[in-house]
A = this chain, B = another copy of it.
């Protein structure tokens, strides 16, 4: 027997309608590249979304067409996030941090038909425009940057649409958005979200034990809207009616702290690097910012060391550690303490909070090795596999990547992790970054986090370098704090407290900075390339297993 419940599809229309009905006065704050602020309200934005959806259909947009954006984070980008899928299209944010030829590859692979581009990104567009075949391009005035005469304008497009435009009915499994993973190996791959997955993921982000986004929150989306589905925030904030604060390009740590203070921010999200910067700014100017109350910092993309969590706590910035990826929309796990852990001492609690946490509702996890499933003992690492209604089932037009999914329908994340008996995931490494030394696995991430707790270290990356006897050995690339000095022996001693001798890097080299991907993660492939021929300065006499 079937349930006798209404067949109401889960589509983005209901999120927008809720903001229009109940939160028309709530603001979306956009910081322009020059640091000035513009403000719009959900009521006005919703009306503009209706106009944009109408205008796109009039411009010839057909069901399933991809419309690319090349935009920073701001209210107009939010309009595109809704209007494109609600007109039957698929919103496809392009990452302006990539090389122009890579952007062109992605736009071609996606089959993008139209483009919305910020005026300040027009010069970038011109660098790849001859490599793509976009039918129409509309320019959004963000920074007042000059664009060639005759180019169509975003505001003109909008003015051709009607505010009372009625969205066509959609199937909840229709595609709504497309995002490419900025993989460090192989060609970028496209993930295609459905209306259903976006709605379920938005609900998940609003649940009390994940991020608990509420209409009483002001949410600072530091993670850019072209990255990993905007972390799901554009949709979940509209669903909740939360104030949204969107910093564009060129927003430094002090600027972020200014926004948190000035806009009464209660939630912010970013990769750890951003919070390292904020912490430095706070240390330099301890009384410089006053926050209204504790701020939840959602951190993902890389593991924050316990020291970062501890130090930010002192400033009222409470890190919530989550894990996910483009393929998981992204929320998959959240590092909340359980009730019975609340009375534990700080040390143990920080240890838990530096793990990636346990699965969000409706998300299943397992750890796999070639020989089968790995027990949740907190010790045995395996590759993390994930399954759930907001997890990708394949990439767009990439049959060569089908091996990323198991025969029984799980996604192979490429992350190596342990899971403890309480269910907390601890990422050990990316499968490709793991250091395989004499048959044993050494986690580059564990070493990095330990090194970053050393007072002289600002950042550290640990990579595998080839070794004639052990196959691979770890090498640490260290960036010192301003004015600090240290020598490798100090680090060896520092690490010896926590690591077996065979796990300690063979060398510590100093660098001015760690190369990064377009979204701020360590670009270890570049380091591996750079240090491919590195060998220890002196004969290596230490005993290794």
Chain A contact residues, CB within 8 Å of chain B: 1-8, 10, 14-15, 17-18, 21-23, 25, 63-64, 90, 173-176, 191-197, 199-200, 203-204, 206-209, 212-216, 239-241, 336, 338-340, 358-359, 361-362, 364, 387-396, 409, 411, 422-423
Contact = CB atoms under 8 A, between A and B. Distances in A.
Given A22-B422, A207-B207, A216-B338, 8 more contacts: A2-B175, A3-B194, A5-B196, A5-B197, A5-B391, A5-B393, A6-B391, A215-B336
Contact of A423 (B21, B195, B216): B21
Given A3-B173, A192-B1, A215 B339 contact: yes
Nearest to A397: B4
How many identical chains are in the complex?
A: 2
A173 B6 CA distance: 10
A213 B338 CA distance: 14
Nearest to A388: B8
Contact of A174 (B2, B7, B63, B208): B2
Contacts of A1: 63-64, 90, 174-175, 192
21 contacts: A1-B90, A1-B174, A3-B173, A3-B192, A3-B193, A4-B175, A4-B191, A5-B390, A5-B392, A6-B387, A6-B393, A6-B409, A8-B362, A8-B389, A8-B391, A10-B389, A203-B204, A206-B209, A209-B216, A239-B361, A240-B361
B25 A340 contact: yes
Contacts of A212: 208, 212
Contacts of A336: 215
B389 A21 contact: no
Contacts of A5: 173, 192-194, 196-197, 389-393
A2 B173 contact: yes
Nearest to A421: B24
B339 A17 contact: no
**3 nearest A-B residue pairs (beta carbon):** A3-B194, A1-B64, A208-B214
Nearest to A240: B209
Contact of A388 (B6, B199, B241): B6
A389 B4 CA distance: 11
A2 B88 CA distance: 11
A232 to B, nearest CB: 13
Contacts of A361: 14-15, 18, 203, 206, 239-240
A339 to B, nearest CB: 5
Interface centre among A14, A195, A336 (most CB of B within 10 A): A14
A72 B122 CA distance: 67
Nearest to A202: B361
Contacts of A338: 22-23, 215-216
Contacts of A362: 8, 10, 14, 199, 203
B214 A209 contact: yes
A191 B4 CA distance: 7
Contacts of A396: 4
A73 B112 CA distance: 56
A396 to B, nearest CB: 6
Nearest to A25: B340
A4 B208 contact: no
A466 to B, nearest CB: 38
A422 B24 CA distance: 9
Nearest to A410: B6
Contacts of A423: 21-22
Contacts of A4: 175, 191-192, 194, 392-396
A208 B213 contact: yes
A241 B239 CA distance: 24
B195 A3 contact: yes
Contact of A216 (B193, B339, B395): B339
A174 B7 CA distance: 13
Given A206-B209, A215-B338, A339-B216, A364 B6 contact: no
A8 B216 contact: no
Counting chain B CB atoms within 10 Å of each CB, the highest count among A196, A239, A361 belongs to: A361
Contact of A3 (B2, B196, B358): B196
Contacts of A390: 5
Given A5-B192, A5-B389, A215-B338, A207 B206 contact: yes
A8 to B, nearest CB: 4
A214 B206 CA distance: 12
A107 to B, nearest CB: 16
Contact of A358 (B22, B64, B340): B22
B18 A174 contact: no
